[in-house]
Structure 1
Amino acid sequence: MGGTTAMKTLHDLHRPLGSTGLSVSPLGLGTVKLGRDQGVKYPNGFSIPDDFTAGQLLQLARELGINLLDTAPAYGRSEERLGPLLRGQRQDWVIVSKVGEEFDNGLSHFDFSAAHTRRSVERSLQRLETDYLDLLLVHSDGNDLAVLEHSEVYPTLAALKAEGKIRAFGFSGKTVDGGLLALQDGDCAMVTYNLNEQAERPVLDYAAAHRKGILIKKALASGHACLAPGQDPVRASFELIFAHPGVSSAIVGTINPLHLAHNVATAATVIEALGHS
């Protein structure tokens, strides 16, 4: 019955983010579309929603049992918009932001120095109107091993964690070697894993074996997944992702309330089926 699936939520399906002590919904809401519409790889154009519409989307996410929000300095105005939109709700959300990538005038540039890392985190705290971030990820430029081995970003994040400004830290990279190295000293990796791209699966395997957190980016292949006729690409994507025991949560970036509710209902159905199989 269509009426029953519409009511499916993720409230009872939260799971640990590795051994961080954080409990996260199996879907997280990505907020790039709240702040940036330049240089984003989506098949369809979109308009950045106004504050009222964005607030309604966040309220719907909460009602559907989502508690994980993914933002970044490189997402344009996303962080500074979320601050006021989340006033009075801090305890309801697990907030993930990033460091390393800056986006100005349509172009990205990267800085992994200790000074920039500290400045960036302080700025994120100000914009988000909070005194701590639940998780901070390094936004890699693709040279994952160089960033981890030859920059100051990871030791700086470890210090910020010790100071209580971040609760956990990790790495959003592009390579298996980067993901594996990042998990040795970090708490979490954000990994591309979808119907089209599964090269980083060894990072998920490592995380499952070592109780580390995994967030999946591009879970729905940014809307590009191709399947046999009649197959639901969202369901097929989630069946792949949630079958892996290393996965903590998958980030979906929709600003369409119907898509969000469908994603949640589908994820809940898939996770419940996996739990009973």
Structure 2
Amino acid sequence: MTLRPYYRALGDTGLQLSPLGLGTVKFGRNQGVKYPTSFELPSDQQIRSLLAQAHDLGINLLDTAPAYGTSEERLGPLLAGQRTDWLICTKVGEEFSAGESSFNFSAAHTRRSIERSLRRLHTDYLDMVLVHSDGNDLQVLDDEVYPTLQQLKQQGLIRAFGFSGKTIEGGIRALQQGDCAMVTYNLNEQGERPVLDFALSHNKGILIKKALASGHLCLDGEDPVQQGLRLVLGHRAVTSAIIGTITPRHLEQNVQAAAAVLEQQE
């Protein structure tokens, strides 16, 4: 079982992503997260094993962020010698410290954040960088962060950039000016569907967050994971859905469900 036959293009960026990406918030942060149950941070060996399993299952996308606690710092050493095996997506704009988030979308902070992520991840380029919006999407896009990311892309430090927002208007404007957007879309929340439709008609990439409603998805009858992924992966704009897990069994189940859905859709 592997997802490799089902890789999808991220818009017109030239990047080919697995239809599921591994979210790594649980690698570095267990405070202020919206999961149904509490959890302990995994050990380095547990993360190393999960990364190996994900690679074997055909996943090539890792999603991290400065706001994910120590996620970037832990990933860097654990990915030694494997850089070409992975597409790494990180964020700018949001910081998390002492249990609270803060936001900064200035040019100076954006550059510092990218330089820090490069050091932490032990790499000289980032495949994707998304702006972690504070919810004021249009205001954020009027700030300095997007032009700065465009400059960093021209300098070769990042390969693609986009926006992780909360509104239809923000998502569409972000796609007009960038390469991709990360959108909430699941069986419970489909309000941002117009962003997906816009992306499809303009050859832009879409990453899905909360594809399984952060573990809150509960349905009667059919397997909720498979039904949730059927919705998400059934939209032709969707490049990849980010699945956050530190449990090997859950990871395998998610890949099995995705493979079943994608085989049916061919």
Shorter-chain TM-score above 0.5: yes
Q: How does 1:54-69 map to 2 (within 5 A)?
A: 54-69=47-62
- 2:17 maps to amino acid: V
Question: For 1:184, what is the secondary structure of its paired residue?
Answer: helix
CA distance in 2, matches of 1:63, 1:226: 29
Q: CA deviation at 1:68?
A: 0.1
1:203 corresponding residue in structure 2: 195
Per-residue deviation at 1:202?
A: 0.4
- Give the superposition deviation at 1:226: 2.5
- Cα distance in 1, alignment partners of residues 90 and 251 from structure 2: 21
1:250 lines up with 2:241 in the alignment: yes
Q: Residue 168 of structure 1: SS of its match in structure 2?
A: strand
Q: Aligned partners of 2:222 and 2:263: how far apart in 1?
A: 19
* 1:110 aligned onto 2:103: yes
The yes-or-no answer on 1:191 pairing with 2:202 is no
Q: Secondary structure at the match of 1:95?
A: strand
Q: Is 1:88 aligned to residue 73 of structure 2?
A: no
Letter in 1 for 2:50: L
In 1, Cα distance between equivalents of 2:215 and 2:43: 23
C-alpha distance in 2 between matches for 1:270 and 1:65 = 15
Q: What is the TM-score normalised by the length of structure 2?
A: 0.99
- Paired residue for 2:66? 73
Identify which of 148, 153, 162 aligns with 1:170: 162
- Number of residue pairs matched? 266
Match of 2:255 among 230, 242, 264: 264
Structure 2 residue 210 is matched with structure 1 residue 218: yes
User: Counterpart amino acid of 1:231?
Assistant: E
- Distance, in Å, in 1 between the alignment partners of 2:200 and 2:262 is 17
1:25 aligns with 2:18: yes
Q: Which amino acid aligns with 1:184?
A: Q
How far is 1:251 from its partner? 0.2
Q: CA deviation at 1:13?
A: 1.0
Equivalent position amino acid for 1:194 in 2: N
Query: How far off its partner does 1:272 sit?
Result: 1.1
For residues 119 and 237 of structure 2, what CA distance do their matches in structure 1 show? 33
Letter in 1 for 2:80: R
**Which amino acid in 1 is paired with 2:79?**
L
- 1:205-228 Cα distance to aligned partner (Å, 9 max, x none): 011111100000000000111212
Give the TM-score of the pair, scaled to structure 1. 0.95
Provide the C-alpha distance between the structure 1 equivalents of 2:175 and 2:4, rounded to a whole number of angstroms. 28
Task: Report the AA paired with residue 180 of structure 1.
Answer: I
**Counterpart AA for 2:187:** L
For residues 10 and 145 of structure 1, what CA distance do their matches in structure 2 show? 36
Structure 1 residue 40: Cα displacement: 0.3
Deviating above 4 A after TM superposition, structure 1's stretches of 4 or more consecutive aligned residues are none
Aligned partner of 2:173 in structure 1 is 181
Cα deviation for residue 115 of structure 1 reads 0.1
Matched, 1:233 2:233: no
Distance in 1, matches of 2:227 and 2:37, equals 21
Residue matched to 1:140: 133
Distance between the aligned counterparts of 1:105 and 1:249, measured in 2?
31
1:11 is matched by which residue type in structure 2? R
- The one-character-per-residue Cα deviations of 1:168-224 (angstroms, maximum 9, x if unpaired) are 000000000000000001000000000100000000001111110000000000011
2:116 corresponds, among 119, 123, 133, to 123
Residue matched to 1:3: none
Give the alignment's Cα RMSD to 1 decimal. Answer: 0.5
1:15 aligned partner, one-letter code: R
In 1, Cα distance between equivalents of 2:75 and 2:218? 33
Specify every segment of 5 or more residues in structure 1 that has no aligned partner in the other structure, as ranges: 1-7
- State how far apart, in whole Å, the 1-side matches of 2:115 and 2:234 are: 37
